[in-house]
Amino acid sequence: MAKKQTFESKLNKSSDKKNQVKLIRSFYSKETQSIRFSEEMVTIPEGKSVDSHLKEIVSK
């Protein structure tokens, strides 16, 4: 018989991904004359807000 999986056990597995956000950037490509997009997963440190951390990353 298969082991029953509860909703709580599903939440405990994905708890490490709770503080990740997908950052999508756009830029203009001169070679193809089009707008290109790049995406990356950013981990938000404990104690920081999402907005302030993303502003730091984008300004670099």
Q: What is the mean pLDDT of each run of 10 residues along the chain (60 residues)?
A: 74 66 94 95 90 92
Model pTM above 0.75: no
Residue 20 class from Cβ within 10 Å (0-12 exposed, 13-18 middle, 19+ buried)?
A: exposed
User: What was the pLDDT predicted at 55?
Assistant: 93
Residues 44, 47, 50, 51: what is their CA dihedral angle, to the nearest 10 degrees?
A: -130
The helix/strand/coil state of 19 is: coil
User: What was the pLDDT predicted at 6?
Assistant: 79
User: What was the pLDDT predicted at 47?
Assistant: 87
Output phi, psi for 42, to 5 deg.
-115, 130
Strand partners, 27: 36
User: What was the pLDDT predicted at 1?
Assistant: 64
